[in-house]
Amino acid sequence: MLFGEDLIVWLVLALGAAMAVGNLLALLRPVSSPHREGDLERAPLLRSIVFIVVGLVAALWALASLIQG
């Protein structure tokens, strides 16, 4: 394989962790002032929590797969 057998697992780990951390930071540090018309002042709470959970599940699954295999 071009980049190794675990490439998809590493990509899932990276994307899941980025999804979780990015949404967590969006909740913790909202934008000080919207830049364009239509921009939100804060990230939607429920959507951000769902994305954090999905990102954590994906990252933990990938980490478990890398440790196991």
Enumerate residues 6+ apart whose C-beta is below 8 A from 66: 6, 9, 10, 13
Q: For residue 63, which of 13, 2, 25 has the smallest C-alpha distance?
A: 13
pTM of the full structure: 0.82
Report how far residue 11's alpha carbon sits from residue 62's, in angstroms, rounded to the nearest whole number.
Answer: 9
pLDDT band at residue 69 under the 50/70/90 scheme: confident
Question: Three-state DSSP class for 63?
Answer: helix
Report how far residue 16's alpha carbon sits from residue 48's, in angstroms, rounded to the nearest whole number.
Answer: 13
pLDDT tens per residue across span 21-56: 999 999 998 777 767 777 777 889 999 999 999 999
